[in-house]
Amino acid sequence: MQSQFEAVRARSLALAAPLSAEDQCIQSMPDASPTKWHLAHTTWFFEALLLAPHAGGYALFDRHWHYLFNSYYEALGPRHPRPQRGLLSRPTLEEVHAWRAHVDAAVCRLLADADAQVLAAISPVLTLGLHHEQQHQELMLTDILHAFSCNPLLPACAPSAEPALRVAASAPALDWLAHAGGQVEVGHAGQGFAFDNEGPRHAVLLQPFAIADRLVNCAEYAQFIADGGYQRPELWLSEGWAAVQTQGWRHPAYWLAPDDPRLALHGIGGASGWHVFGLDGLRPMRPERPVMQLSFYEAAAYAEWAGARLPTEFEWEAASADARFCERDDQAWQWTRSAYGPYPGFRPLPGLAAEYNGKFMVGQMVLRGGSLATPAGHSRPSYRNFFPPAARWQFSGLRLAKDL
């Protein structure tokens, strides 16, 4: 496991490497965190949940930092307020890197010295820590992209930080995959790793339905905009329409309309059409790419406009077994119509990790699939991502469904 640990830890540093120290300190909104905080928090996780309980005689690198970089683990003590993470100019980035190196060395010593009994005891929390850090690698990209979107210069992340895009040169015509419904098994199966919210595996009853074989693309969403989608209250859920009015939504979060003054700053004329800001910077809208940075409300409104609906998370999971259903290659998370809640028989993880997922099972919606920022191995059919319905800074899009 040592090589896997070292690889995951090195990947976090590689994602952050193109960013300046100033870039890594900024927090553009309360829901996002600075890159430096992500690097520190994932280190805190290994120190607090692995080394302190299991490495005899381990001394904390700096006891004050446990207050600064605890995220939401009430059992481990108080913590610095989330909306104020961008104010943590100290410790410095250099000091955080030194902490990471200290913890990495201690974890490697623990693994080298552990006998079979100790390895069996620490393996679950170490494995969880690796997947936890990979989740934060995805958040590092989404959070810095939001921060850069607030900068009129719209800087691009370095090419090394951008995962390879597997998008066809032109989108195929949308086709519908029919599913007969009936009783199906959902939830994680097998011996591989899964988060606690992916189980227990259980049976659900589905009515016959059809689901699109691909995601809605930018060209199709532009038609929704052109047809007055953001001005038609009959298409929107009540809370969504309120968000449109109060937030001034007129298009996806990182789209720039032809009259956006930031285009002129970049020497782009007003007749140039839609542009989209992404990890590779500001680019003309590519019609065939999946539309992203949508809230649940926008996804639901588009589905209403299209005469369809969003799939439930169980429909999505059942349909993903179809060979024509490519959840990974579509490169965007997909909103479902399912509220995020526990499965029948759900039990939190034992020990200090009990607060990992269960405490968030209210007021959020489930997304399925994966995105261009999702680490390899996390895009399994049972993976349940979740965000509040108004969140739109993630790589979140939509796939249509309908009743049969």
Supply the DSSP symbol for 343: P
The verdict on whether omega for the bond into residue 53 sits within 30 degrees of 0, i.e. cis, is no
What does each of the 404 residues of the chain score in pLDDT, given as a tens digit?
Answer: 899 999 999 999 999 999 999 999 999 999 999 999 999 999 999 999 999 999 989 999 999 999 999 999 999 999 999 999 999 999 999 999 999 999 999 999 999 999 999 999 999 999 999 999 999 999 999 999 999 999 999 999 865 544 544 445 566 789 999 999 999 999 999 889 999 999 999 999 999 999 999 999 999 999 999 999 999 999 999 999 999 999 999 999 999 999 999 999 999 977 789 999 999 999 999 999 999 999 999 999 999 999 999 999 999 999 999 888 865 456 999 999 999 999 999 999 888 788 898 999 999 999 999 999 999 889 899 999 999 999 999 999 999 999 99
Query: End-to-end distance of the chain based on CA atoms, in angstroms?
Result: 48
Half-sphere exposure of 51 (CA within 13 A, CB side): 22
- Pick 176-403's CATH classification: 3.40.50.920, 3.90.1580.10, 3.90.79.10, 3.30.70.380: 3.90.1580.10
Report the C-alpha gap between 362 and 339 in whole angstroms.
8
DSSP string computed for 128-186:
HHHHHHHHHHHHHHHHHHHHHHTSTT-PPPPGGGSPPP---SSPPPP-EEEE--EEEEE
Whether cis (ω within 30° of 0) applies to the bond prior to 381 is: no
Antiparallel, parallel or unpaired: β 176-179 and 401-403: unpaired
Pair type for strands 401-403 and 396-397: unpaired
d(CA 300, CA 397): 11
Beta carbons of 145 and 154 less than 8 angstroms apart? no
Burial of 52 (0-12, 13-18, 19+ CB in 10 A): middle
Cβ contacts of 105 within 8 Å, gap of 6 or more = none
CB atoms within 10 A of CB 333: 30
Evaluate whether 9 touches 34 at the Cβ level (below 8 Å). Answer: no
- In the chain, where are the structural domains located? 2-161, 176-403
Q: Which residues pair with 282 in a beta bridge?
A: 277
